[in-house]
Amino acid sequence: MDNKRTFKPALTIAASALITWFVASGVGVAQSRAWTTTIGDVRVTCPLTVGGSFEAKTTALAGRLSVDPATTALAGELSVELKTLDTGISLRNQHMLDNYLEVQKGEDFETAVLSNIDVGPLTTGVTDGHSRFTARLRLHGTLQAVAGQATMSERGSAVRVEASFPIRISDYGIRDPRYLGVGVKNEVVVRVVFFANKDS
């Protein structure tokens, strides 16, 4: 059960970055180059070794990204404070934070960060769409490449972004989450939905 937290941070950050990118590229790069994330929802689906699965959740997304029309990369980064992760069971939360995420080890373990986001060729004037992206995720003191899919839609002055991508917890040096003989499979799926606003 401790596994929930392990997966969540990665998901949250990667998804957030993804989403922000779509906002920036989809709503017209020439008109606005900076976006700030606002309301967000991150859910990590963790399949269990005995069958079934559970979700880990958080709403703590923060960051700013800027778009350069001349490139396919985004400047800036998105981060998630891992201590905000909640699996719905207090003991599992404690095990996840202390035994697997090891947040007590310092900043590189307390926060998950998504950076170096590349969304491929940017398209101006698009208000709705979907695309594939790549990025770098720092989790548990380890930096790894991630890739996934994202969709965006314009909502008034904001943009709604939904992104998802898989991560393997072993890639981040996180030991196999297991409690009372039940474990979480190595690959989990992160889904993030959030809104981003253009900076004035």
Q: What is the pTM of this model?
A: 0.76
User: Which of 13-22, 67-76, 174-183 is predicted least confidently?
Assistant: 13-22
Render the burial of 66-76: b for 16+ CB within 10 Å, e for the rest: ebeeeebbbeb
Mean pLDDT of 182-200: 83
* 15 vs 154, more confident: 154
Q: Of the given ranges (84-93, 110-119, 177-186), which has the lowest mean pLDDT?
A: 110-119
Domain that holds residue 186: 3-198
* Whole-number pLDDT of residue 32: 43
Mean pLDDT calculated for residue range 175-186 = 89
The CATH number for 109's domain is 2.40.128.110
Query: For residue 15, what pLDDT is reported?
Result: 43
CB 48 within 8 A of CB 186: no
The mean per-residue pLDDT over the stretch 115-119 comes to 78
Can you tell me the mean pLDDT for 26-50?
71
| Tally of domains in the chain | 1
Please state the rounded mean pLDDT for residues 23-27.
Answer: 43
How does residue 12 score in pLDDT terms, banded at 50, 70 and 90?
A: very low
SS3 sequence of the chain: CCHHHHHHHHHHHHHHHHHHHHHHHHCCCCCCCEEEEEEEEEEEEEEECCCCEEEEEECCCEEEEEECCCCCEEEEEEEEEHHHCECCCHHHHHHHHHHHHCHHHCHHHHEEEEEEEECCCCCCCCCEEEEEEEEEEEECCEEEEEEEEEEEEEECCEEEEEEEEEEEHHHHCCCCCEECCEEECCEEEEEEEEEEEECC
Q: Look at residue 49 and tell me whether its pLDDT is greater than 70.
A: yes
